[in-house]
Amino acid sequence: MLHKPMAYPKPSEELDDELDPSAFKPRSRGGLGLSLTFSGLILAAFLLFDLRGDLAFWVASSPPIELGQSGDYHLDRVADNALAKVQGQPGPVASRFRRYGQSYEIVALKGSPFLVRRPFPGRELGQGKPDQAPIVATGRLLRDSSIAEYEQAFQNLVQKGEAVPASEHLWVLLDGELPRSGWQMPAVAAGLFALLALNALTLLRFFRARAGQGQRKKLT
């Protein structure tokens, strides 16, 4: 049995004139992808800039600055974000807190602008009485304005007369924080550099492709 072909109506010329071929083109997602790439690039660059002090300290190789001891402190040697060593007698009050799951206490060295942040084995927070044994601490030295998250602890110790600012500043030594110690900083930096490079390469390829398209259009 023969099957007759189905008779489809012929396209109307009038209808053809009304159709817009651009309506059948798929929507481009290039704009969204480009925005995400720009956002990733800016975020990675901002975080790397924000971590510049941590990175500079991590790669430092200078010997520790000797800041002296009680009654013989060398205030002319202080330097922000430097490795330093200080000795002194702790005051009777410590400001205790938790950070990233670790308990710390900040203790002022009597008669000086130096504070020492050191690990605290207990879980007691707020104000407490520190061990009165003389402190010998080596670690990262920061000006109070460079570590603003401890501002409340600084104010408490100044109000109690434990900390004595010099030239309107206190100096905090992060005991035990040494250059090239731990893997977190290089891991974070490597990840951010990789993100920055990936997004920069993606943008470079995109603009090269656009430039090639523009060149081909000129030739045609």
User: DSSP secondary-structure letter at 71?
Assistant: T
Q: Do residue 91 and residue 188 come from a single domain?
A: no
Q: Do residue 165 and residue 194 come from a single domain?
A: no
Q: Do residue 87 and residue 161 come from a single domain?
A: yes
**Is 14 a member of any domain?**
no
Q: Do residue 66 and residue 53 come from a single domain?
A: no
**Is 13 a member of any domain?**
no
Of the two residues 210 and 200, the one the predictor is more confident about is 200
Mean pLDDT within 92-99? 87
Q: Do residue 140 and residue 84 come from a single domain?
A: yes
**Is 18 a member of any domain?**
no
The 10s digit of each residue's pLDDT in 5-41 is 555 455 555 544 554 554 445 445 556 777 888 888 8
Residue 137 pLDDT exceeds 80: yes
pLDDT at 65: 95
Of the two residues 136 and 54, the one the predictor is more confident about is 136
Of the two residues 124 and 197, the one the predictor is more confident about is 197
**Is 12 a member of any domain?**
no
Residue 109 pLDDT exceeds 60: yes
pLDDT at 8: 44
Sheet holding 114-119, edge to edge: 65-66, 82-88, 135-143, 171-175, 114-119, 102-109, 90-99, 126-128
Q: Do residue 104 and residue 156 come from a single domain?
A: yes
Q: Do residue 130 and residue 47 come from a single domain?
A: no
Residue 67 pLDDT exceeds 90: yes
Q: Do residue 144 and residue 76 come from a single domain?
A: yes
Scan for tokens 């250059």, then name that residue. 179
Q: Do residue 214 and residue 115 come from a single domain?
A: no
Instruction: Tell me the residue range of the domain where 198 lies.
Output: 37-58+181-220
How does strand 114-119 pair with strand 102-109?
antiparallel
Average pLDDT, the chain: 81
Q: Do residue 67 and residue 164 come from a single domain?
A: yes
Question: Which residues 6+ apart lie within 8 Å of 82 measured at CB?
Answer: 57, 60, 62, 65, 140, 141
Q: Do residue 150 and residue 111 come from a single domain?
A: yes
User: How many domains does the chain divide into?
Assistant: 2
Q: Do residue 168 and residue 202 come from a single domain?
A: no
